[in-house]
Amino acid sequence: MSPLKIKKGATSHSAYDLRSTFGDAIERHTLAVIVENEPGVLARVIGLFSGRGYNIESLTVAEIDHTGHLSRITIVTSGTPQVINQIKAQLGRIVPVHDVHDLTVEGASVERELALFKVAGKGDLRIEAIRLADIFRANVVDSTLESFVFEITGTPEKIDAFAELMRPLGLQEVARTGVAALARGVVSHG
């Protein structure tokens, strides 16, 4: 008897659908987690990631409601769709967590990051750094005879591009805030 010649994943309605239900493509997701503003909550959220070997690419935390004692944790992470779903489910089970939103799948969102760049250089390198900063709409927030500190706001990709261009011009140090993100338009979380 010859083995069946089944084309893997020909259709999802076939009894012979051999496609994995778990995607193996790595996806980048931005999660907004609303939590009680109390000691230890951030440690519990971080512990969930480190304890299971999940990576955090960016993390920002700030209080968003002083009277309600709520903070917003914005986490950029990556993994397979199965891993992302596990992260969201496990975050939702942590007691001080009020809400978990996956901004990547819930619709259009706005992501911004703030960065400071210290660039040292003289002569033509200094002039080129100023020219590129102008193109990227970066502001000079400190200046000495030997260096500049630029402030730039934008998408993580814009920040990365600016860093790559500043490297050969004398980039000394970088400080980044991490991603802050909001869903676009009016969102109902009923």
- pLDDT, position 53: 87
The DSSP element (H or E) to which 169 belongs, if any, is none
- pLDDT, position 1: 52
Region of 137 on the Ramachandran plot (φ > 0 left; ψ -120 to 50 alpha; else beta): left
Alpha helices in the chain (DSSP H): 41-52, 81-93, 124-135, 156-166
- pLDDT, position 95: 84
Measured CA to CA, the distance from residue 120 to residue 148 in angstroms comes to 6
- pLDDT, position 5: 55
Residues of the chain with pLDDT under 50: 9-14, 17, 19, 190
Q: Helix 124-135 vs helix 156-166: angle between axes, to the nearest 10 degrees? A: 170
Q: What is the pTM of this model?
A: 0.77
One-letter-per-residue 3-state SS of 71-117: EEEEEEEEECHHHHHHHHHHHHHCCCEEEEEECCCCCCEEEEEEEEE
- pLDDT, position 144: 94
Residue type, 68: G
DSSP 138: P
- pLDDT, position 9: 47
Q: How confident is the model over 12-41, as pLDDT tens digits?
A: 444 554 545 555 788 999 999 999 999 999
- pLDDT, position 10: 46
| C-alpha pair distances (Å), 62 with each of 78, 94, 130, 174 | 22, 18, 32, 21
